[in-house]
A = this chain, B = another copy of it.
Amino acid sequence: MKSEKISEAVVRRLPIYWRYLSELQRREVSTVSSQELGQKLDLNPAQIRKDLAYFGDFGRKGIGYDVAYLIEKIRHILNLDQQINVVLVGAGNLGHALSNYNAYLKENLKIVAVFDAYEPKVGTQINTLKVQPMDELYDTIKNHNIRIGIITVPEYEAQQVANQLIEAGIAAILNFAPIILKTPPHVRIHAADFTTEMLSLAYYLEEGKEDSTDGE
C-alpha cells in the first residue's frame, strides 16, 4: 500500500476490473494474469499492474492474481463493503430508468430516495420508492446518511438542486443535466450528460462527410 494520490483515470478503471473479475468468478476461473485482463479489457498489462499496485501487492509473481481475492480488495477500495445510500432528484423518464438499475447496483450501493419538485409527481411510486417533495430533501439525506446524489432534473434547476444536495452534506454527485455545476472542491462531481456525449461522437464522423464513401 503506497500513499500517492490516485488519479481519476485509475479510479475509473477499477470498476471495469471489478466487473470483469466478477464475470470470471461466475465462470469459476480462479486466477488471472494482467496479460489476460489487458487483452479482455483493451488495456496495457503494465497499466493494470501499476493500477493495482497503488493499493497493495495483490498478485503473485509467476502466478497472477487470485480472482476472488482481487474482487474482495477492489470491493474494499471502492468502499462497497459498507452500505452507500444514494438519492435521485428528478423523477422524469431518465430518473425512472436509472432507478431501475438498483437491482444491478446491489452490492451495497442503493438508491434509497427519489425527489421531484413538480407537485403532481410527488407521492407517485417509482418501483419501491415513493417520490418525495423537495422540502424533505435535507432531512432525508441526513437521516439516511445519504452520500451520493444523482441529478436528473432539467438544466435550469440543476445548480439549485446541487446546492441543496451539498448543503445537506452529500459527498459526490452524478450530474445528468447539461451544465457545469459550481461546487466546493470537496464535493466530487461527475458529468454524465447524454447530449454532450452525442455531440462529441458527432465529431468523429468526418469520414462520412462525403456521402457514399465506402469503408475506411
- Residues in A lying within 8 Å of B, measured CB to CB: 11-12, 14-16, 18-20, 40-42, 77-80, 82, 84, 86, 92-94, 96-98, 100-101, 104-105, 109, 145, 147-148, 171-172, 174, 178-180, 182, 186, 188, 190, 192, 194-209, 211, 216
Contacts and interface: CB of A to CB of B under 8 A. Distances in A.
B195 A101 contact: yes
Nearest to A179: B19
Chain copies in the assembly?
A: 2
Contacts of A77: 203
A202 B195 CA distance: 24
Contacts of A201: 148, 172, 174, 188, 190
B147 A205 contact: yes
Contacts of A197: 174, 190, 192
A51 to B, nearest CB: 12
B180 A204 contact: no
Nearest to A173: B201
